[in-house]
Amino acid sequence: MGATVKLSDAIKRKRDLQDAESDIDISSTDSENDGESGEEQEIVNIDFDFFNGNKDVDFHAFKNLVRQLMGPQESNKVSLSALADLILESPTTTIKTDGQESDPYCFLSFIDYKSHKDSDYASYLKKADPKMADFLKTIDNSNKTCALILSERLINMPPEIIAPLFNIGLEDASSSLGEGKNYDYYVILSRKFEVSVEVDDDEKSGQGRKRVKTSEIDYFHEEDRFFERNAKIHFDSESRKGLISTYVVIDHSSLLKSIEEVTTLVATW
């Protein structure tokens, strides 16, 4: 598969894509980084090419992106090499800008749960929370289908790519099932980040209004807000050094609804 999507609006670029590959904890967020507000922004036009996963060149990139997605603590609980192989065996869409042999800036993969229910990654999900273990057990004992979705991207990827990425990925997943079928359910792993902010307290001190620190949660992937809102099951891990792993179970119609909602939101920006 090869397709090109041209974004009509210029992309605001905060740093070179190479810089985004550092292991900074928010290297995949769609949100603005307030710490860089003083930097000049370069405006560029980019054509994004969509390709299937390439076994010859994408293995190490997938390992790095999954490590980034899961964070340093959670990524130590799975075999990243085995997971990268699983992604390459599954319907996977990548986004590149310099041909099929270049490194992907983004990927989206649909791993068939029943075909890989004994995999290291499936075992990891079952241990994440009793609600997840119970759900996957019901899938084991039913004729329902389920895909494990993994997706990650670099910080400079604009949110306009979300809809075409998922639309192409869902088409490939449907083709793998045959006869125009879709998965009944999807399990999505993602992550959020915690930031500390100072706010005015209503209580006044003798020296004026008090300033107190509080925590706010923000999203690396804008679509996760909608996945959580429309989820059948959703739970988060505890914050670990500012990172929060998030797990979502969502049915097919609710996934499509979420993509439509985030597309509508992005169009207003």
Lowest-pLDDT choice from 14-28, 72-86, 177-191, 195-209 = 14-28
Task: Give the three-state DSSP class for 9.
Answer: coil
Give me the pLDDT at residue 195, please.
84
From CA 27, how far away is CA 220, in angstroms rounded?
8
Establish if 36 belongs to a structural domain. Answer: no
**Residue matched to tokens 């029943």:** 114
What's the whole-model pTM score? 0.81
Establish if 228 belongs to a structural domain. Answer: yes
Give me the pLDDT at residue 182, please.
97
Task: Give the three-state DSSP class for 27.
Answer: coil
Give me the pLDDT at residue 215, please.
78
Residues with Cβ within 8 Å of 180's Cβ and at least 6 positions away in sequence, in order, are: 174
Establish if 17 belongs to a structural domain. Answer: yes
Task: Give the three-state DSSP class for 127.
Answer: helix
* Structure tokens given for 64: 């790095």
Establish if 18 belongs to a structural domain. Answer: yes
For 158-179, the DSSP string reads -GGGHHHHHHHHHHHHHHHH-T
* Structure tokens given for 33: 């980084």
From CA 198, how far away is CA 176, in angstroms rounded?
50
Tell me which range, 12-16, 34-38, 41-45, is most confidently predicted by mean pLDDT. Answer: 41-45
* Structure tokens given for 165: 């990425």
pLDDT at 73 over 70: yes
Establish if 37 belongs to a structural domain. Answer: no
Q: Determine the average pLDDT of the residues in 193-218.
A: 70
Give me the pLDDT at residue 206, please.
58
Give me the pLDDT at residue 241, please.
87
pLDDT at 26 over 80: no
Instruction: State the total domains in the chain.
Output: 1
- The answer to whether 86 touches 121, Cβ cutoff 8 Å, is yes
153 forms beta bridges with: 106
Secondary structure, 3-state, 235-260:
EECCCECCEEEEEEEEEHHHHHHHHH
Establish if 250 belongs to a structural domain. Answer: yes
Rounded to 10 degrees, what is the CA torsion of 124, 126, 131, 135?
130
Give me the pLDDT at residue 209, please.
63
- The answer to whether 93 touches 116, Cβ cutoff 8 Å, is no
Establish if 234 belongs to a structural domain. Answer: yes
Domain range spanning residue 193? 2-31+47-267
Half-sphere exposure of 256 (CA within 13 A, CB side): 7
- The answer to whether 185 touches 149, Cβ cutoff 8 Å, is no
Give me the pLDDT at residue 41, please.
66
CA angle 8, 48, 105 (to 5 degrees): 130
pLDDT at 133 over 80: yes
Establish if 71 belongs to a structural domain. Answer: yes
**If you average pLDDT over every residue of the chain, what do you get?**
85
Phi, then psi, of 252 in degrees rounded to 5 = -65, -50
User: CATH number for the domain including 59?
Assistant: 3.40.630.30
Q: Determine the average pLDDT of the residues in 171-187.
A: 96
pLDDT at 6 over 50: no
